[in-house]
Structure 1
Amino acid sequence: MEGTGQAAASGMAGARVDDGAAGGKALKVVAAVDASEESLHALSWALDHVVRCHPDAALVVVHAQHAVDHFVYPVAAHGIAYAPATAVESMRKAQEENSRRILARALDMCKERQVDATGAIVEGDPKEAICQAVERFQAGLLVLGSRGLGRIKRAFLGSVSDYLSHHACCPVLVVKPTKAQAK
């Protein structure tokens, strides 16, 4: 593929999704973003190479944030999770603000390229939350970045892109970082 990043795509055939009616409907692209430069590079690549080629495409930018209870750990002596309500609320507000900033940065990229996009923040484990968002938005293509983890790190940490390429209900385009970004 051309451009500054290499991309691995599965099932890119068919820019339109047939809905049984005359014509079909425009391609709906979901781009998953987080705070990483790799995810913003993937969004940029999608804007330049997918959305530009399909001007009638609908773009939804999705950010997955962990549920606040993900950050509450059990207290060893008591065997129960405990966090004061004020601490949980403070974490929730900080997390929501961070998610809004991430989404705003991504939507600004779209606006700079004169592309209308919708933003959505989903909650939960990123793997599952993005998978569910793809279904809910009836995406025809999911675009996401790759951090380029090695085999060992990927085995221990898991790979969101690997999971989604196997479980998403639509084709998945994983945009790898450029050689300069990978260093």
Structure 2
Amino acid sequence: MGPPTDGHSGLARRRWGGRKENDMGGSIVCGVDGSADSQAALGVAARLAERLEARLVLAHVAEVALVPYAAVGGMRAGGIAPQPMTLARRDGQEEAGARLLEQIAAEHGLRDADRRVVVGFPAERLADLADDEDAELIVVGSRGRGRFKAAFLGSVSNSLVGVARCPVLIVPPGAAEAQ
């Protein structure tokens, strides 16, 4: 199933005609988690936003904890499920995310960038946020969770490609050094 269309030949929400060549007309959402790879992605996103005259949105997803569960009754297999989160814990994660974004924005001279903190599964929440912000592009690092979690749970960047409704730019490790 592809993106929604207007019933004719173009995308319903994205109209590319009539814009200046370098004007994206929307925003760029950059997923930030404090890792070295997300820092590299931030550098790329900031340069793109400046060159394309797009609004930059720094996004942090306070990830829900996952807990294993065992098979019950006639169920054949167990799995993992989101752990219930108290309001105090959620508020604490949102505050920590806001502090992280404030610190990163200051370190990179991006005080004018918008900042958003959301709670949930990173790929899905970044895709939803990109829709809310009318993003033309999402920029993320290739690894943020660490190799073990990525192997067990899957890569956020790879999952994001599957659920996002706009292009996703995955910045590879070492991209910052190549600039």
Compute the TM-score of the two structures, normalised by the length of structure 1.
0.65
Paired amino acid for 1:159: S
Conserved? CA contact 2:136–2:167, under 8 Å:
yes
Paired amino acid for 2:54: A
Write the distance in 1 (CA, Å) between the matches of 2:176 and 2:115.
29
Conserved? CA contact 2:94–2:118, under 8 Å:
no
Alignment map for 1:14-29 (pairs within 5 Å): 18=15, 23=19, 26-29=25-28
> In the alignment, what sits opposite 2:94?
96
Q: In the alignment, which of 51, 54, 64 is matched to residue 53 of structure 1?
A: 51
Paired amino acid for 1:62: A
Partner-residue secondary structure (3-state), 2:103: helix
How many angstroms does 1:92 deviate by?
3.4
> In the alignment, what sits opposite 1:44?
43
How many angstroms does 1:155 deviate by?
4.0
**Structure showing greater relative contact order (alpha-carbon pairs closer than 8 Å, 6 or more residues apart):** 1
Matched, 1:142 2:141: no
Alignment map for 1:104-119 (pairs within 5 Å): 104-110=102-108, 112=109, 116-119=112-115
Paired amino acid for 1:128: E
Write the distance in 2 (CA, Å) between the matches of 1:131 and 1:35.
19
Distance 1:133 1:89, change over 3 A: closer
Bigger fraction of residues in helix: 1
> In the alignment, what sits opposite 2:164?
168
How many angstroms does 1:91 deviate by?
2.8
Partner-residue secondary structure (3-state), 1:103: helix
> In the alignment, what sits opposite 2:61?
64
After superposition, give the CA deviation of every residue in 1:30-76 in whole Å (9 maximum; x if it has no partner): 1111121211221012213x12321x211111111135xx47899xx
Write the distance in 2 (CA, Å) between the matches of 1:101 and 1:153.
24
How many angstroms does 1:127 deviate by?
1.6
> In the alignment, what sits opposite 2:11?
none
Write the distance in 1 (CA, Å) between the matches of 2:33 and 2:26.
23
How many angstroms does 1:124 deviate by?
1.0
After superposition, give the CA deviation of every residue in 1:54-109 in whole Å (9 maximum; x if it has no partner): 1x211111111135xx47899xxxxxxx99xxx94553343233111211123224
Q: In the alignment, which of 120, 123, 129 is matched to residue 127 of structure 1?
A: 123
Structure 1, gaps ≥5 residues long = 1-16, 75-81
After superposition, give the CA deviation of every residue in 1:97-140 in whole Å (9 maximum; x if it has no partner): 31112111232245x16x73111111111121111111111110
Matched, 1:159 2:158: no
Conserved? CA contact 1:127–1:160, under 8 Å:
yes
Structure 2, gaps ≥5 residues long = 1-13, 70-82
Identity of aligned residues (%): 34
